[in-house]
A and B are shown apart, each in its own frame.
Chain A
């Protein structure tokens, strides 16, 4: 377990610059909270909050699709896997690392959102629930991307992830059956954030969060299975 956390923390450390760039958006929201009249411009603040929130899902896909590729291309993976570290542990470290990187962002956004939207009348507990939805969505999106990246290059892995996340949402939209989007609930969870408002407090159920956690475990197991057959020392170019 120690090795898994070491790899996870190392991943976050390696991704510190993209995380810091992401955090600039949170800073923008905080700046708007300071510079504007929160009560009068609350809809604008909520719009910015939603926009900034969903960026992290896209970033989780980028993190997931490039994590193994970067380590294989730089050959750093050889020094890690030459130690007493199994491939499954390595992937677990990456999944936790991706989730941790996104959780850092969600925590900062949750704090800023609680402060800016809270003073405009938005329920603080809902802000944190939405952050939980986002973290679950990021964990699932990142793990799906990681699974594809075990055998595809980052560009195709990101595309395949977008397809896996988008097809259930598209089917749900065309068939009119909202539950279909729960098949891979990244869209449902992101939609919970995008549809939030000051007026309605119809909270999203815990079901998509539970499904996302379950599917994250499933895709993690699948990626570990695929990765156990991959020749990692072979060039990824």
Chain B
């Protein structure tokens, strides 16, 4: 089934110039990406990789140097498409007002009004667990609470696409679980979520697909499950053989566990059998997203400073 892309980057390059234009830094380099309807998309990369630049380009806060992109079918910067988008910036800054009027202010900017706006504002504050604090001024809120107000203002217009830049960075574990549930519920409602995060465990848990950006280039893209269960190595569990026969094997519950390159799978199994052992299981080795991320960013990549 071909699904429409809700967020598309087509060969987008963004260069920052210093005041006199002598030095150029390429924050994003021929970046192409297509986010599909109804998925939770994880956007990863080390600091300075260009994630926030890509998000700001999509929101129309800046113009690409080359290339183009579309947000909900309209070119980047189209204000009508932003009506259907919820955005939470990194390190959210809000006007110092009471939480509920503040969320109402942002809702009104999204085109809501009247009873719908009042009802939605209360509902979203309840969803982020701030109903008790809705009459308090946000200038007295902790960073985690501010982040939750930021999330409330992002979802107040019931957006089709949520673009979240580090949504759980300031949250405690309980609040983080709450946000995770909120995102999963949003996906069930058919919404699309574009999530930039450093919390790889979170991304691993909820994202359908992930992209890794490094020095402005897309260096890895794929389904989370496929990346985690890379077919390059296989994990073998066997019994009736001694661990010292296989490199890196450990003993667990009376069996030995070791991993081998997928290409050597067959000869390894034959060796177990020839030693009189029994193969219990052979599975693709599951790695954590953190391992994959560290591996990807350790690979040499070109850095663009002109």
Contacts and interface: CB of A to CB of B under 8 A. Distances in A.
State which size class the interface on A falls in. 20 to 34
Dominant secondary structure of chain B at its interface with chain A: loop
Contacts of B97: 13
B105 A82 contact: no
A28 interface: no
Given A79-B89, A82-B87, A234-B16, A2 B108 contact: yes
Contacts of A3: 108-109
A24 interface: no
A13 B98 CA distance: 13
Interface residues of B, number: 31
Given A74-B93, A76-B95, A81 B108 contact: no
A82 B59 contact: yes
B92 A79 contact: yes
Given A79-B153, A84-B79, A85-B79, A232 B106 contact: no
Contacts of B16: 234
A166 B87 CA distance: 43
Interface in B40-67: 52, 56, 59-63
A94 to B, nearest CB: 14
B241 interface: no
Interface string B84-108: 0101010111110100000001101
Contact of B79 (A10, A78, A79, A86): A86
Given A2-B113, A6-B109, A10-B105, A79 B60 contact: no
A82 to B, nearest CB: 4
Nearest to A73: B93
Contacts of A76: 93-95
Contacts of A83: 82-83, 106, 109-110, 157
B62 A232 contact: yes
A152 B107 CA distance: 31
Contacts of A232: 61-62
Contacts of B91: 75
B80 interface: yes
Contacts of A82: 59, 82, 85, 87, 89
B276 interface: no
A233 B93 contact: no
Contacts of A84: 79-80, 82-83, 109-111
A14 interface: yes
B127 to A, nearest CB: 18
Contacts of B108: 2-3, 6
Nearest to A235: B16
A233 B83 contact: no
A202 interface: no
A102 to B, nearest CB: 21
A192 B83 CA distance: 46
A74 B87 CA distance: 17
A84 B112 CA distance: 10
A232 B61 CA distance: 6
Interface string B226-252: 000000000000000000000000000
A208 B238 CA distance: 94
A14 B95 contact: yes
A123 B70 CA distance: 61
A234 B95 contact: no
A83 B62 CA distance: 15
Interface centre among B85, B91, B95, B108 (most CB of A within 10 A): B95
Interface string A6-50: 110010011000000000000000000000000000000000000
Contact of A75 (B59, B62, B93, B157): B93
B108 to A, nearest CB: 6
A80 B82 CA distance: 11
A78 B109 contact: no
Interface of B: 16, 52, 56, 59-63, 79-80, 82-83, 85, 87, 89, 91-95, 97, 105-106, 108-111, 113, 150, 153, 157
Given A2-B108, A229-B63, 19 more contacts: A2-B113, A3-B109, A6-B105, A10-B105, A13-B95, A14-B95, A75-B91, A78-B93, A79-B92, A80-B109, A83-B110, A83-B157, A84-B80, A231-B63, A232-B61, A232-B62, A233-B52, A233-B56, A234-B62
The 4 residue pairs across chains A and B that have the minimum distance between CB atoms? A231-B62, A82-B87, A84-B83, A83-B109
